[in-house]
Amino acid sequence: MTDAIEMRGVTLRLGQNGFLFDCALPEGAVIGVTGASGAGKSTFLNLLAGFDMADGGRILFRGKDIGRQHPAERPVSLVFQDSNLFAHLDVFTNIGLGIHPALKLGNADRHAIASALAKVGLAGFEKRMPATLSGGERQRVAFARALVRERPILLLDEPFAALDPSLRRDMAGLLLAMHRDSGNTVVIVSHDADEIRRIADYAIFIDHGSVAVAAPIDRFSTGEDNAALRQFLRIDES
Ligand SMILES: Nc1ncnc2c1ncn2[C@@H]1O[C@H](COP(=O)(O)OP(=O)(O)OP(=O)(O)O)[C@@H](O)[C@H]1O
């Protein structure tokens, strides 16, 4: 298995909090990032996305250092808990921004947007405004926007947290279908260990600002003899 991303001695200080991340993320896998509240999951993702710039260390994509690149230049697309759609722009335009921030869209782009909407189950929704969509539909639009960017890495921060349980499962199914289709590497932050176990091939446990465990999901689920992970997974409780 080759690695899509390596974080080597990546350090960051935010106020009183220090972070040190060192790990490798396997190419083409669904990688769950989990841990207690405040452990540093979002910070880990923000460093990969380029929203936080590391104080030290290296972030490599297929061996190339991307740690100084602007977020828009990085090989990543993003989906957040809140779908982050612009309220005053229709669905078509919101997705188009994923392709060209300046919105110079040609026929091929229009076709790509229609096709992405069809893939997420929203064919024909181009003219709808975000306020007229349900929470699940808004999240589907965010997925379509990530799809049209065609980046090899998809980063998601608690993408289903605002959805009810059955919708969560539908959206997780959609995520896995998109992943199978594109063969991309998915990095998904979730505080929900069951969700990680359901959808991830590989998982990372963040504890007090660093990677405490990184392992294939079956080994991860045993707790890997890490007391904090075992407690998080409630393995020792009976
Ligand atoms: N800009 C900042 N300045 C100071 N402290 C920060 C900043 N951003 C995050 N932190 C702190 O860093 C720690 C890790 O935050 P982070 O959001 O990465 O945690 P998390 O694991 O994603 O938590 P949660 O599951 O609650 O979202 C927290 O204690 C948070 O308060």
Per 3-state DSSP, the chain is made up of helix, strand and coil in percentages (nearest 5) of: 35, 25, 35
Provide φ and ψ at 52, rounded to 5°: -115, 135
* Encoded tokens for 40: 């540093």
Q: Which residues pair with 18 in a beta bridge?
A: 13
- In tens, the pLDDT along 204-230 reads 999 999 999 999 999 999 998 899 999
Residue type, 10: V
pLDDT tens digit sequence for 140-153: 999 999 989 889 99
Q: Which domains does the chain have, with CATH numbers?
A: 1-75+154-164+185-238 (3.40.50.300), 81-150 (no CATH)
Averaged pLDDT for residues 16-28: 97
The Cα angle at residue 8 between residues 147 and 214, in degrees rounded to 5 = 70
- Across 188-207, average pLDDT: 95
Ligand 1 atom with least separation from CA of 44: 18
Measure 67 CA to ligand 1 centroid, in angstroms. 20
Phi, psi of 216 (to 5 degrees): -55, 150
Q: Whose CA is nearest to atom 13 of ligand 1?
A: 38
- Span 26-41, average pLDDT: 96
If DSSP states are collapsed to H, E and C, what string results for 138-173? HHHHHHHHHHHHCCCEEEEECCCCCCCHHHHHHHHH
Does ligand 1 have an atom closer than 6 angstroms to the CB of 13?
Answer: no
Q: For a substitution probing ligand 1, which of 17, 80, 155 has the most ligand atoms within 8 Å of its CB?
A: 17
Which residue bears the tokens 């929900």? 192
40 lines ligand 1 (CB under 6 A): yes
Q: Is 50 in the pocket of ligand 1 (CB under 6 A)?
A: no
* Closest C-alpha residue for ligand 1 atom 12: 17
- Position 80 scores a pLDDT of 84
* Nearest 10 degrees: Cα torsion 100, 153, 180, 3: 150
- Beta strand 210-216 with 202-207: parallel, antiparallel or unpaired? antiparallel
Assess whether the C-beta atom of 191 lies below 6 angstroms from ligand 1. yes
Predicted model pTM: 0.93
For helices 107-119 and 135-149, give the axis angle rounded to 10 degrees.
Answer: 130
Q: Is the pLDDT of residue 237 over 70?
A: no
Residues, the chain, total?
Answer: 238
37 Cβ inside 6 Å of ligand 1: yes
